[in-house]
Amino acid sequence: MNKKVNVLVTGCGGDIGQSIGKILNESAYVNNLSGCDISDKNAARFIFSDFFIGLKCTDPAYLANLERIVAEKDIDIIIPIAEPELRFLSQKGVVDTIGKAKLILASPEAMEVGFDKLKTAQFLEVHNLPFPVTQLINTVDQVSAFPVILKSRTGSGSATVSVVKEQEEFEFLKKHNPDFIVQEYLPGDNEEYTCGVFRSKSGEVRNIILKRTLTGGYSGYGEVIKNNEIESLLNAIAADINLIGSINVQLRLTAKGAVVFEINPRFSSTVLFRHMFGFADLLWCIEDTLDWGVAPYQETAVGKKFYKGFNEYIS
């Protein structure tokens, strides 16, 4: 069997796309690696030897353009990275192929739940899993107990997340962000975890748990840990959400146990760290999608630490 593929990574200009490019550049599976982004003002051109400008997913020609690229470059696998693209593909039901190229995506239910922060909390509650109390901001006039978290219902990252400590601040943010949600504040700044979860088509679940410290909104430092409570929770989420593929789960350990506050149905900014620790979920997704058989995994990284760094490029 020829285990060589031509891969296209879309939305490759951000930190996640660049990390995925670095992994694929070292993979024996990759024949030709292409990457596109809506901007060339990023370092992707130094990672993807075949880098080019793509169309925004809001462009009416977006899908047709991808089909043309797949045919011209003989692409076998497309890995979309940017959340706007992932949301677009999910909403359009384009979750298997574009042209002849197979898509590497989390399963549809995972995307539906994860891309809506209110649905995430409701999903956890329905399945009797620990959840943060979450409401639409326009249904709340008076906050009963501060602090609370205010964040976009559909956004990602920490840029739109606020810890609100008083009513006046709440009312100001509510006025300017009518589509936000209000979420229970989970204490435990030193007990925050970001977890990679992979589930194969056969139902095998693998996870890695990273206790992290945020630096400028990113996981800047962390340590691989073993925690049976968190592992059981991750396994339950993977089964209940009918996961096939890889997702990122963020949680805190609180007095009432491990409580999830985000399910990100995509590869996360720790994908390269995970890969370096032997948790090769990107490659497992390719293997599973192409029915190559998922390579075995042995947990060996507990206690190891990661540190977020930066590369500089000039041209």
Residue 138 scores a pLDDT above 80: yes
Q: Residue 286: pLDDT above 90?
A: yes
Specify the CATH number for the domain of residue 57: 3.40.50.20
Domain containing residue 24: 5-104
Distances from the Cα of 255 to the Cα of 130, 148, 209, angstroms: 12, 17, 19
210 and 163 in a common domain? no
Based on the fold, state whether residues 85 and 50 are members of the same structural domain.
yes
Distance of CA 80 to the CA centre of its chain: 11
CATH number at residue 280: 3.30.470.20
Q: Which tokens is 145 given?
A: 């107990």
Counting the structural domains of the chain, the total is 3
Domain boundary among 115, 150, 184: 184
Smallest CA-to-CA distance from 21 within 5, 37, 6, 34 is with 34
Residue environment code for 288-300, b if the CB has 16+ CB neighbours within 10 A, otherwise e = bbbeeebeeeeee
Inform me whether the pLDDT recorded for 217 exceeds 90: no
Average pLDDT rounded to a whole number, residues 281-298? 97
In this predicted structure, the answer to whether residue 292 has a pLDDT above a threshold of 70 is yes
Q: Are residues 175 and 206 in the same domain?
A: no
Tens of pLDDT, residues 94-124: 999 999 999 999 999 999 999 999 999 999 9
Question: Considering the domain boundaries, does residue 16 fall inside one?
Answer: yes
> Above 80 in pLDDT, residue 159?
no
- 195 plus 303 within the same structural domain: yes
Q: Is the pLDDT of residue 158 over 90?
A: no
In a domain, 123, yes or no: no
Is the residue at 119 inside a domain?
A: no
Query: Which tokens hold the place of 310?
Result: 């930066």
Of 246, 199, 283, 280, nearest to 7 by C-alpha is: 283
Asked if residue 23 belongs to a domain, the reply is yes
Residues 230, 178, single domain; the answer is no
- Looking at the domain assignment, is residue 124 inside a domain? no
Q: Which residue has the tokens 């920490």?
A: 158
Q: Is the pLDDT of residue 25 over 90?
A: yes
